């Protein structure tokens, strides 16, 4: 089911990243345990844009970790637009990982786009100086971006970051200028500091300031729950595109809404329970194809509450869905839920994690010297996915 809003004339031009055209200018943010091939396929079936795989650790890639090599498989329909996000803290290791992807084809296909993660606020990352803590060391940031761009050759490299560590340690403007100077194709800014995690409301004003400060495209991220939030972000900030994270959890059709919105169309999807059930079954089926029925359905369980948010579902069915172990069982349980209109009360509401703010865990003395070029000791992660 779709609904029609007031007509809009807002349309966003395609995003140009080197030779890669992203149309509409919508990017699926990497999310650990979420943006696997199954979810990327499902989102792509509803819309268009760029769909980034789960975060890949450069150390694990260079060491050819088995799990990591499985995670960088492109699906058949993303061979020409396979997008990888890398996490790394050592310029040499990042450069080597990029070289492997571009020159050796370790992913089975040459990536069309590489993103560098400087925005992760998770304590196990920041306490070692990685993620959103790293841009404070601006010389190290510059060296990492330089090595990645050099190794990537004609493959566009972008970076994703946050406003800063906290209100007293802001890094996004320096990060944007460094990205531009070192040849990055674009920068994504999440409108929160690291200490905010995913609490409160994202501040879009720094996105607008970054747009004014750099010449490369700036993508906005943070609190885009509906397509009209994306339109508002573009109007308020002048950003060249949007990056969608938690807003699509349990709502892969959001990418269809975004495609319509950026084409100046007013239609929006409001699927009935029966239509959502069909999407859920499709999602579980894709995971089963990838991991086998038992592991696929086990992985699907985390999505159930997001899909059913706001719908009237009996507690016994919810409990059973939380333990579902096969596609046939899933279909039987979904058939027990009465069809009903989409619960419009949940539109625009936050989804996924909403962790409260807390001080950022940092290495001893991390804030004392912004120009220290040395990689943080022990910050390299051995496994991918966050």
Q: Find the catalytic residue in 120, 239, 248, 297.
A: 120
Nearest alpha-carbon partner for 274 in 230, 363, 335: 335
For residue range 93-132, what is the model confidence (pLDDT) as tens digits? 999 999 999 998 777 778 999 999 999 999 999 999 999 9
Within 10 A of 260 (CB to CB), how many other CB atoms are there? 20
Whether 248 sits among the annotated catalytic residues: the reply is no
Contact, 134 vs 118, CB < 8 A?
yes
Looking up tokens 């696929």 gives 296
Q: How far is CA 9 from CA 127, 230, 262, 269, 354, in A?
A: 46, 14, 9, 19, 33
**Token pair 């970790």 is at which residue?**
65
Model-level pTM? 0.94
At 45, which helix (H) or strand (E)?
helix 37-46
Query: Mind listing the pLDDT tens digit of every residue in the chain (386 residues)?
Result: 565 545 445 578 999 999 999 999 999 999 999 999 999 999 999 998 999 999 999 999 999 999 999 899 888 888 788 999 999 999 999 999 999 999 987 777 789 999 999 999 999 999 999 999 999 999 999 999 999 999 999 999 999 999 999 999 999 999 999 999 999 999 999 999 999 999 999 999 999 999 999 999 999 999 999 999 999 999 999 999 999 999 999 999 999 999 999 999 999 999 999 999 999 999 999 999 988 998 999 999 999 999 999 999 999 999 999 999 988 999 999 999 999 999 999 999 999 888 899 999 999 999 999 999 999 887 776 666 65
Q: Rounded to an integer, what distance in angstroms lies between the CA atom of residue 103 and that of residue 344?
A: 48
């Amino acid at each position: 089911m779709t609904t029609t809003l007031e007509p809009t004339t807002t349309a966003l031009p395609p995003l140009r990243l080197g030779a890669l055209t992203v149309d509409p200018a919508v990017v699926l943010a990497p999310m650990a345990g979420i943006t696997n091939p199954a979810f990327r396929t499902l989102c792509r079936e509803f819309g268009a844009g760029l769909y980034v795989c789960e975060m890949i650790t450069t150390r694990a890639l260079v060491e050819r970790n088995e799990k990591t090599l499985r995670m960088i498989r492109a699906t058949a329909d993303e061979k020409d637009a396979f997008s990888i996000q890398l996490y790394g803290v050592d310029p040499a290791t990042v450069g080597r990982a990029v070289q492997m992807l571009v020159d050796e084809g370790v992913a089975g296909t040459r990536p069309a786009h590489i993103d560098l993660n400087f925005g992760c606020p998770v304590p196990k990352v920041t306490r070692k100086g990685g993620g959103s803590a790293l841009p404070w060391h601006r010389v190290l940031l510059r060296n990492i971006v330089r090595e990645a761009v050099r190794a990537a050759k004609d493959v566009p490299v972008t970076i994703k970051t946050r406003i800063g560590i906290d209100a007293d340690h802001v890094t996004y403007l320096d990060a944007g200028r460094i990205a531009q100077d070192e040849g990055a194709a674009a920068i994504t800014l999440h409108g929160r500091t690291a200490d905010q995690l995913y609490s409160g409301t994202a501040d879009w004003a720094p996105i607008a300031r970054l747009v004014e400060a750099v010449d490369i495209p700036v993508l906005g991220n943070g609190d885009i729950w509906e397509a009209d939030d994306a339109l508002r972000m573009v109007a308020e900030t002048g950003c060249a595109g949007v990056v969608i994270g938690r807003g699509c959890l349990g709502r892969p059709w959001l990418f269809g809404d975004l495609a319509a919105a950026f084409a100046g169309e007013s239609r929006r999807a409001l699927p009935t329970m029966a239509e959502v059930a069909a999407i859920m079954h499709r999602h579980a089926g894709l995971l089963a194809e990838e991991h086998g029925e038992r592991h696929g359905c086990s992985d699907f369980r985390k999505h159930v509450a997001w899909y059913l948010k706001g719908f009237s579902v009996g507690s016994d069915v919810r409990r059973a869905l939380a333990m579902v172990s096969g596609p046939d069982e899933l279909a039987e349980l979904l058939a027990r839920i009465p069809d009903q209109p989409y619960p419009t009360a949940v539109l625009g509401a936050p989804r996924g994690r909403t962790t409260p703010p807390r001080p950022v865990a940092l290495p001893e003395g991390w804030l004392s010297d912004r120009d220290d070029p040395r990689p943080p000791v022990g910050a390299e992660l051995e496994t991918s996915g966050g």
